[in-house]
């Protein structure tokens, strides 16, 4: 039997330099805020040209692991913001042609346990942030762009209340994908804004009371309501999230 092999391709030197630096950052040898040596010193240590080091640093900078502070020529280690991490995941999900139904199902699985955990672990500071997000939605709901932003902010505030970074990072790309379809829905379903406000109020009360079961129940109802809203708006949940707008289908009769 004849076995075929692919040619071995040499990896560019700047990729290897970037991988070495990334390894030191991820294993916490280089910590948030630590400054790297100058480019010339890094080039000497790695035994490569300065231009190679510069390309490696640019790669890590674009990945959110390095930042150049104002007034400094040297890079410092930084922790990527959740939004930056989620944006990459969001783009990957869109490229894999996930649908609004996929996102809705994921939120159905993820958000009720997040609300339950938040009810157990929230602090007064978290409750203030959740209440502020609810109040902003109530005040700005006539402005669609602001309203959908405030809905996402409400979910984020609850995620923060879990004090679980994995849950917070897991929900963020889903919220970024949720906003476009939500914007299309609430303009077509007049009662949607009132339903969202009412659900947020019940969820917040459950969190204020530290009632995990009630928080789980009302978050589940809230997420289910989104699907009903999409159906009433005539939005096709099979639309890809990468599309500019969710596709529309004939509107169903009934109330949200």
Residues 125, 209 within the same domain: yes
Rounded Cα gap, residues 115 and 133, in angstroms:
15
Q: Is residue 108 part of a domain?
A: yes
Which residue range(s) make up the domain with 203?
A: 83-233
Q: Is residue 251 part of a domain?
A: no
Radius of gyration in angstroms for the set of CA atoms belonging to the chain, rounded to a whole number: 23
b/e burial code for range 42-80 (CB count within 10 A of at least 16 → b): bbeebebeeebbebbbebbeeebbbbeeeeeeebebbee
For helices 50-62 and 13-26, the axis angle rounded to 10 degrees is 50
Q: Is residue 240 part of a domain?
A: no
Predicted confidence (pLDDT) per residue in 12-38, tens digit: 899 999 999 999 999 999 999 999 999
Q: Is residue 119 part of a domain?
A: yes
Residues 92, 219 within the same domain: yes
Residues 143, 210 within the same domain: yes
Predicted confidence (pLDDT) per residue in 81-111, tens digit: 776 666 766 677 777 788 888 889 999 999 9
Q: Is residue 250 part of a domain?
A: no
Cβ–Cβ < 8 Å for 186, 193: yes
Residue 159 pLDDT > 90: yes
Residues 71, 127 within the same domain: no
Residues 195, 217 within the same domain: yes
3-class DSSP state for residue 71? coil
Question: Nearest 5°: CA angle at 199, between 194 and 203?
Answer: 150
The answer to whether the Cα torsion of 181, 183, 189, 195 is positive or negative is positive
Q: Is residue 243 part of a domain?
A: no
pLDDT of the residue at 24: 94
Residues 58, 108 within the same domain: no
Rounded Cα gap, residues 103 and 177, in angstroms:
7
Number of domains in the chain: 2
b/e burial code for range 84-120 (CB count within 10 A of at least 16 → b): ebbbebbeebbeeebbbebbbebbeebbbbbbbbbbe
Cβ–Cβ < 8 Å for 76, 36: yes
Residue 77, strand partner residues: 66
Q: Rounded to 10 degrees, what is the CA torsion of 46, 49, 54, 59?
A: -60
Residue 167: both structure tokens together: 């849950």
Cβ–Cβ < 8 Å for 90, 177: yes
Predicted confidence (pLDDT) per residue in 53-92, tens digit: 999 999 999 888 999 988 888 999 998 777 666 676 667 7
Residue 66 is inside which H or E element, if any? strand 66-68
Residues 33, 160 within the same domain: no
Cβ–Cβ < 8 Å for 60, 80: no
Residues 135, 210 within the same domain: yes
Q: Residue 26's domain is classified under what CATH number?
A: 1.10.10.10
Q: Residue 93's domain is classified under what CATH number?
A: 1.20.120.530
Residues 197, 148 within the same domain: yes
Residues 202, 103 within the same domain: yes
Q: Is residue 3 part of a domain?
A: no
Higher pLDDT, 101 or 247: 101
Q: Is residue 245 part of a domain?
A: no
Predicted confidence (pLDDT) per residue in 171-229, tens digit: 988 898 888 888 889 999 989 999 999 999 999 999 999 999 999 999 999 999 999 99
Residues 138, 52 within the same domain: no
Residue 228: both structure tokens together: 């009903």
Residues 87, 212 within the same domain: yes
pLDDT of the residue at 1: 55
């Amino acid at each position: 039997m004849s076995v075929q092999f692919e040619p071995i391709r040499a990896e560019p030197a700047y990729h290897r330099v970037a991988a070495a630096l990334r390894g030191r950052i991820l294993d916490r040898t280089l910590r948030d805020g630590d400054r790297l040596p100058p480019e010339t010193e890094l080039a000497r240590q790695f035994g490569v040209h300065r231009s190679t080091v510069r390309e490696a640093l640019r790669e890590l900078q674009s990945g959110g692991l390095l930042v150049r502070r104002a007034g400094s020529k040297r890079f410092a280690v930084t922790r990527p913001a959740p939004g930056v991490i989620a944006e990459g995941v969001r783009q990957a999900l869109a490229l894999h042609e996930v649908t609004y139904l996929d996102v809705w199902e994921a939120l159905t699985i993820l958000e009720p346990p997040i609300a339950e955990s938040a009810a157990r672990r929230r602090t007064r500071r978290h409750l203030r942030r959740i209440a502020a997000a609810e109040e902003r939605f109530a005040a700005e709901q006539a402005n669609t762009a602001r309203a959908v932003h405030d809905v996402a902010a409400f979910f984020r505030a609850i995620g923060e209340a879990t004090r679980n970074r994995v849950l917070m990072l897991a929900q963020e790309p889903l919220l970024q994908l949720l906003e476009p379809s939500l914007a299309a829905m609430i303009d077509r379903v007049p009662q949607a804004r009132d339903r969202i406000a009412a659900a947020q109020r019940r969820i917040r009360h459950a969190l204020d009371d530290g009632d995990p079961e009630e928080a789980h129940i009302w978050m589940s109802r809230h997420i289910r309501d989104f699907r009903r809203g999409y159906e009433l708006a005539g939005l096709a949940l099979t639309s890809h999230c990468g599309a500019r707008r969710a596709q529309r289908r004939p509107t169903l009769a009934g109330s949200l």
